[in-house]
Amino acid sequence: MLTQLFEPAASPQARKIYVVIDTYRIHFAKPVLAFLQAHQDRLELVCLPTYSPKLNPVERFWKHLRRKVTHTTFFQTIERLLDAVTGFFQEMATLPDTVRSVAGLAAYVSPVYLVRA
């Protein structure tokens, strides 16, 4: 994913990119750290505090998913659970304003401005 951030900005004078992350272990794996070291002039990770679900919009979205899909239903099989979750994501894909609202991002901000400073 990090390599994709550089594709639109081929200019050597492009602005530095800041990516906000949580403290999940994979974000600090050796390949990630090596990539960051190699691109430290163009890319910087900004870590959320440990266990900060109120600061992480995806946590609000997961809570919404659980409330709408799994809290009131017992699924006989994993396939039925997967079908319900897939249906939820398909519905959310058609409702971007709902996704932004649930995630606490009701005022739309271009994704470019979310990762670039």
Per-residue pLDDT tens for 22-68? 888 888 899 989 988 988 888 888 888 887 777 778 888 889 999 99
Looking at the fold, whether 32 and 6 belong to one and the same domain comes out as yes
* Predicted confidence band of residue 70 (pLDDT cuts 50, 70, 90): very high
More confident residue, 51 or 99: 99
Confirm if 22 and 49 have CB atoms less than 8 A apart: no
Q: Are 47 and 79 part of one and the same domain?
A: no
Q: How confident is the model at residue 116 (pLDDT cuts 50, 70, 90)?
A: very low
- 9 in a domain, yes or no? yes
Q: Which amino acid is at 28?
A: F
Question: Would residue 109 count as lying in a domain?
Answer: no
Query: What is the domain count for the chain?
Result: 2
112 occurs within a structural domain: no
Residue 60 counted as domain residue: yes
* Residue 85 vs residue 50, higher pLDDT: 85
pTM for this prediction: 0.52
Give Cβ neighbours of residue 57 (< 8 Å, ≥ 6 apart).
Answer: 103, 104, 105
Within-domain flag for 114: no
**Cα(101)–Cα(12) distance, rounded to whole angstroms?**
36
Q: Are residues 7 and 48 both part of a single domain?
A: yes
Q: What's the pLDDT band for 87 if we cut at 50, 70, 90?
A: very high
Cα angle at 63 between 114 and 56, to 5 degrees?
Answer: 30
